[in-house]
Amino acid sequence: MFRHIGKTRTLKHNLRIASLLSFVAGIVNVAGFVAIQKLTTNVTGHFAFFIDELFKFNFWQGFVYFLYIFFFFLGSFVSNFLVELISKRKNRHAYIVPTCIECVILYSAAFFGHFLIDAHQNILAFGLLFAMGLQNSLVTTISNATVRTTHLTGLFTDIGIELSQLFFYKQQDQRKKLLSSIKLRLTIISFFFLGGLVGGVFYSYIQLYVLAIAATTLFFAVIYDSIKLKLILLKRKYSKRNL
């Protein structure tokens, strides 16, 4: 799911990582908004608020919105920097460090975020935006820009285009490619919605601790992928010995 990068990935790999990470993003999106009334998985709205505050000469509040954008960008930068750095040594494990950082941030927000809600909401928002920047950059890099999981605007644009193309592209290989892409985008949308539903329902009972569900889901996915990789390498090792 994680270890295949770029052209080595198949639709099956992308569907798995899309469902996992969009589910996580859905939880973060709803939990962050309900807790502090801020968008914590994308920066489109923050850019509009940033410009609006500048026109009102509210420079401090404008600077805060700029920081929302900056921390998402910073997460994206750090994620890809780490992937590029680590892939030069162990390509198969390039994803581990950014994913672990995301897990740490989500666990920290889950267990300590309630201390920040009243007086330091922005710190919580910065952390969640950084985590989502990490995630979005990571999945974009390893899927060769095929999968993005933290917001839906581009997905609905793409799926609208592809559904309209079904009326014109009649060749079997073209339709197969289109249907695969539509399936992937519908998977992301569905699991983002499911994550949002889980986030909303459980937030009413356990507040920000719901982020621990997202972090644990991500953590076990990494463990599963690592164990599977070790088993595959072990199998190859013994197969070569038997030749």
**Considering only CA atoms, which of 4, 11, 5 is closest in space to residue 184?**
11
**Section 221-236 average pLDDT:** 77
H or E, element range at 92: none
Residue partners of 204: CB distance under 8 A and separation at least 6: none
Top-level class of domain 6-242: mainly alpha
**Residue type for 110, please?**
A
Higher pLDDT, 1 or 34: 34
The residue type at 51: I
pLDDT of residue 215: 94
Helix ranges restricted to H, 88-209: 96-112, 121-142, 153-165, 172-206
Confidence at residue 158, expressed as pLDDT on a 0 to 100 scale: 83
In the chain, DSSP finds a helix count (H) and a strand count (E) of: 8, 0
Angstrom distance (rounded) from CA 134 to CA 63: 22
What are the residue boundaries of the structural domains of the chain, listed by start? Answer: 6-242
Contact yes or no for 135/21 (Cβ under 8 A) = yes
Residue 8: what pLDDT? 61
Per-residue pLDDT reduced to its tens digit, 16-65: 888 899 999 999 999 999 999 888 888 888 888 889 888 888 889 899 99
Residue 91 CB neighbours (<10 A): 13
Angle at 56 between CA 54 and CA 62, to 5 degrees: 35
* CB neighbour list of residue 201: distance below 8 Å, 6 or more residues apart: none
Cα three-residue angle 91-97-101, rounded to 5 degrees: 160
The CA distance from 221 to 26, in Å, is 17
pLDDT digit string, tens, across residues 219-228 = 998 888 778 7
Q: Assess contact for 127 and 105: CB atoms under 8 A.
A: yes
Q: What is the pTM of this model?
A: 0.87
Tell me the per-residue pLDDT of 107-160, one tens digit each, with 9 for 90 and over. Answer: 999 999 888 888 889 999 999 999 999 998 888 877 766 677 667 777 888 888
pLDDT band at 4; cut points 50, 70, 90: low
Measured between alpha carbons, how far apart are the two ends of the chain, in Å?
Answer: 29
Answer whether residue 233 shows pLDDT above 80: no
